[in-house]
Amino acid sequence: MTNLSRIAVDAMGGDEGVAVMLAGVAAARRRFEGMQFYLVGDEARIREGLKSHPNLTAASEIVHAPDVISADDKPSQAIRRAKTTSMGIAIDLVKQGKAGAAISSGNTGALMAMAKLSLRTMPGIDRPALAALMPSLGDNDTVMLDLGANTECDARNLVQFAVMGAAYARTALDLESPRVALLNIGTEELKGTESIRDAATALRAATHLPLTFTGFIEGNRLSRGDVDVIVCDGFSGNIALKSVEGTARFVADLLRRAFQSSIRSKIGFLISRPATELLKHHLDPNNHNGAVFLGLNGLVVKSHGGANEVGVATAIGFAAKLVREDLMRRIAEDLGNFEAKAA
Amino acid sequence: MTNLSRIAVDAMGGDEGVAVMLAGVAAARRRFEGMQFYLVGDEARIREGLKSHPNLTAASEIVHAPDVISADDKPSQAIRRAKTTSMGIAIDLVKQGKAGAAISSGNTGALMAMAKLSLRTMPGIDRPALAALMPSLGDNDTVMLDLGANTECDARNLVQFAVMGAAYARTALDLESPRVALLNIGTEELKGTESIRDAATALRAATHLPLTFTGFIEGNRLSRGDVDVIVCDGFSGNIALKSVEGTARFVADLLRRAFQSSIRSKIGFLISRPATELLKHHLDPNNHNGAVFLGLNGLVVKSHGGANEVGVATAIGFAAKLVREDLMRRIAEDLGNFEAKAA
């Protein structure tokens, strides 16, 4: 029986180290009532870190892991060390039903490979996908998947991503029938690869599912809030997401240069600082932290490697919500309905 | 014999109509000495429009075209109307050697299809590519190709794009040995598709070419100015470029909202307006206008559909520079060198 209220935390992963992970866990503990944790990693360092967070000690159990996956470890090397690393042991706690979800800020490729090998894909899913939330101009964030788990995808993969992404949007964003679109290089029916066009045909026919298929979406409308779920292969998804991140930073850098270009503009900047802070808050990845591997028999959340305490707490709260609202069951049900109709 | 100094202008294409095209041509005429033009389109409308630009009349010859390609025309329909449309006739003037380049703000797919059919690909090139300039934080703009001409590409296509893109950067940006990178989802050698990895191997070996291959680049560094030429298949290139455009607009919209959120920030905005104007200028596509189809036996420049007078003039000046500095010959030479070494 899965312990819904307990989250397994890889306390060692991430660029920021144990202290930030523990501070994030402590913040999540304060924010969300009744949560409990496995803190997986070097016991001595975790025990030392816990001294700064007395409120966390009672809600946590330390699980010692002698080894750590580094940012440079290749996925193929990492999986051989599943049993001794903090990342591998955190995932194993989910597999054993001791935790409702595992969370790590470590090496994404290694996390994906380990999670896939340990938890296996759900019945009806050919390949898991990495899904994340992007800020948008709409009322809610936008779900995007796959973001790099699968370099090449066929139509069947894309349809499964759409079903999983919609279930995820219903759970994470509290939407009833999320608007789902396929990422493409044009909106006309004939655009794109055969896989994308075939996936569109299948999704147009799937009117019995709790999603609203809206057709194709182009890269320039990713952040407009026109749709709730954007589906793509892992290669273009990774390119698109990183292009969005990079451009937001690029514009922010240009803006900084522009504001520093004269005394007058420096003064203007100081006066309007609350406005630019609002912008910064909206774009700060720590407020949208927590990518999820969908399609596995267990929940694994990837926190951004550079996440700060707030970001880690966001990702943990997010994982808890997905567990509480039983994302896995929703995906299984929707897939069942889709397959039943298609059969 | 190609008339180097004459540019064939599709006066009818683009969202903004004949008046903007002619105003753009007139501005280019003022900016660049000695240029001459074919103005292709509805004779009566062009003649009417020319009344506002007396300086242009002497430098232009009107070529009547009874028909126009619209934004909705499919490429397959468009190519059947090559002989009667302003776009088709402008391209034909290049084919006949009467013009050094053709320029159009019309339907990209139709322009590409017509140019390919009429001008054919250069010897040694399997597929032409669409290349454009993107703003960057570096000293010069960054060339990116392919941007949508080829949905799927093999290693050989990517290598040819790299050679053409480097020749283009040498010509358009006056660089000696442009830094060339392949767009990928990671920088490690094993990342990405087989096509990308094979293209990297070939480019690493091509040390005799006037380019510096720097490996892979990810989406988040497109605008950093680390490289001069970014090579990709048309699908991910289109997604990346549109993601960049969309995000720049997204951030600008957020900024506008933020600045309007209080009187204080409105005042701050007014004071710092010179700074934000600088930003706007840097990101304004009209200052980077002019995508080029590379790999054809003739030069065809695509001006942005929404380009204003400044944008059209930029694209024309750009086309003239590429003609003057003989981009076509440079591409042919580099390809010859590459093939000779590889053979």
One domain, residues A91 and A154: no
CB contact under 8 A, B246 and A222: yes
Say how many CA atoms lie within 13 Å of A258 toward its Cβ: 23
Residue A99 burial (10 A CB sphere; 0-12, 13-18, 19+): buried
Using alpha carbons, select from A49, A48, A40 the residue that is nearest to residue A68: A40
Among A303-312, B49-58, B275-284, B312-321, the range scoring the smallest mean pLDDT is B275-284
**pLDDT exceeds 70 at position A4:** no
- pLDDT bin (cut points 50, 70, 90) of residue A33 is confident
DSSP codes joined into one string, A217-242: E-GGGTTSSS-SEEE--HHHHHHHHH
**pLDDT exceeds 60 at position A3:** no
Q: What's the pLDDT tens digit per position in B269-278?
A: 666 666 566 5
B338 is a domain residue: no
The continuous run of DSSP H or E covering B181 comes out as: strand B179-183
Among A257-266, A331-340, B206-215, B286-295, the range scoring the smallest mean pLDDT is A257-266
One domain, residues B168 and B276: yes
Average pLDDT over every residue of A260-287? 64
**pLDDT exceeds 80 at position A80:** yes
Q: Contact, A308 vs A16, CB < 8 A?
A: yes
CB contact under 8 A, B251 and A252: yes
One domain, residues A46 and A117: yes
Which candidate in A70, A183, A193, A247 is best for mutational testing of the B interface (most B CBs within 10 A)? Answer: A247
First to last CA, chain A: 32
What pLDDT is recorded for position B47?
95
Residue B246, min C-alpha distance to chain A (Å) = 4
Average pLDDT over every residue of B27-36? 87
CA-to-CA distance for A142 and A232, rounded, in angstroms? 13
What pLDDT is recorded for position A264?
65
B341 is a domain residue: no
A112 is a domain residue: yes
One domain, residues B104 and B248: no
Average pLDDT of every residue of chain A: 88
One domain, residues A108 and A132: no
Residues in chain B: 343
Residue B45 burial (10 A CB sphere; 0-12, 13-18, 19+): middle
What pLDDT is recorded for position B2?
47
CB contact under 8 A, B254 and A279: yes
Q: Contact, B11 vs B41, CB < 8 A?
A: yes
A326 is a domain residue: no
Better-scored residue on pLDDT, B228 or B337: B228
Average pLDDT over every residue of B74-79? 90
Using alpha carbons, select from A127, A156, A121, A122 the residue that is nearest to residue A342: A156
CB contact under 8 A, B220 and A192: no
Q: Contact, B111 vs B104, CB < 8 A?
A: yes
Interaxial angle between packed helices A155-173 and A309-324, expressed in degrees from 0 to 180 and rounded to the nearest 10:
100
Residue with token string 């094979």: B198
In three-state secondary structure terms, B1 is coil
Which chain A residues touch B151 with a CB distance below 8 Å?
185, 192-193
Residue with token string 């008339």: B3
Number of structural domains (chain A) is: 2
One domain, residues B149 and B282: yes
**B71 in contact with chain A, both atoms CB, cutoff 8 A:** no
Q: Contact, A181 vs A231, CB < 8 A?
A: yes
**A71 in contact with chain B, both atoms CB, cutoff 8 A:** no
The ipTM value here is 0.84
CB contact under 8 A, A250 and B282: no
CA-to-CA distance for B111 and B301, rounded, in angstroms? 9
**A173 in contact with chain B, both atoms CB, cutoff 8 A:** no
Average pLDDT over every residue of B167-193? 92
- pLDDT bin (cut points 50, 70, 90) of residue B341 is confident
Of B151, B219, B278, the CB nearest to A242: B219
What pLDDT is recorded for position A231?
98
One domain, residues B23 and B162: no
Can you give the CATH number for the domain in which B43 is found?
A: 3.40.718.10
One domain, residues B243 and B306: no
- The dihedral region occupied by B169, where left means phi > 0, alpha psi between -120 and 50, and beta the remainder, is alpha
What pLDDT is recorded for position A11?
95
**pLDDT exceeds 90 at position B268:** no
In three-state secondary structure terms, A26 is helix
**B76 in contact with chain A, both atoms CB, cutoff 8 A:** no
One domain, residues B96 and B181: no
CA-to-CA distance for B254 and B270, rounded, in angstroms? 17
CB contact under 8 A, A273 and B274: no
Pairing assessment for the beta strands B291-294 and B129-134 based on DSSP bridges: antiparallel
Distances (CA, A) of A51 to A41, B42, B87, B299: 16, 81, 73, 69
As a whole number of angstroms, the longest Cα–Cα distance in chain B is: 69
CA-to-CA distance for B87 and B104, rounded, in angstroms? 7
Q: What's the pLDDT tens digit per position in A284-327?
A: 666 667 799 999 999 999 998 888 899 999 999 989 999 988 89
What pLDDT is recorded for position B336?
86
- The C-alpha angle A248, A294, A2, rounded to 5 degrees, equals 125
B331 is a domain residue: no
Q: What's the pLDDT tens digit per position in A127-170?
A: 999 999 888 888 899 999 999 878 889 999 999 999 999 999 99
- pLDDT bin (cut points 50, 70, 90) of residue A189 is confident
Before B146, cis peptide (omega within 30)? Answer: yes
**pLDDT exceeds 90 at position B204:** yes
B102 is a domain residue: yes
What pLDDT is recorded for position A232?
97
What pLDDT is recorded for position A1?
41
What pLDDT is recorded for position A201?
96
Better-scored residue on pLDDT, A336 or A226: A226
Chain A, residues 108-167, CB within 8 A of chain B, namely 137, 148, 151-152
One domain, residues A159 and A103: no
What pLDDT is recorded for position A2?
47
CB contact under 8 A, B279 and A251: yes
Domain containing A203 equals 126-294
- pLDDT bin (cut points 50, 70, 90) of residue A283 is low
DSSP codes joined into one string, A33-89: TT-EEEEEE-HHHHHHHHTT-HHHHTTEEEEE-SB---TT--HHHHGGGTTTBHHHH
Using alpha carbons, select from B280, B271, B278, B260 the residue that is nearest to residue A271: B271
In three-state secondary structure terms, A28 is helix
- The C-alpha angle A176, A182, A184, rounded to 5 degrees, equals 155
B330 is a domain residue: no
One domain, residues A134 and A268: yes
Of B192, B235, B265, the CB nearest to A274: B265
Which chain A residues touch B255 with a CB distance below 8 Å?
255, 275-276, 279
The listed range with the strongest mean pLDDT (A32-36, A241-245, B225-229) is: B225-229
Average pLDDT of every residue of chain B: 88
Q: What's the pLDDT tens digit per position in B109-132?
A: 899 999 999 999 999 899 999 999
One domain, residues A69 and A107: yes
Which candidate in A112, A141, A272, A288 is best for mutational testing of the B interface (most B CBs within 10 A)? Answer: A272
- pLDDT bin (cut points 50, 70, 90) of residue A198 is very high
What pLDDT is recorded for position B72?
87
**B332 in contact with chain A, both atoms CB, cutoff 8 A:** no
Query: Looking at residue B244, what DSSP letter applies?
Result: H
A335 is a domain residue: no
CB contact under 8 A, A283 and B242: no
**B263 in contact with chain A, both atoms CB, cutoff 8 A:** no
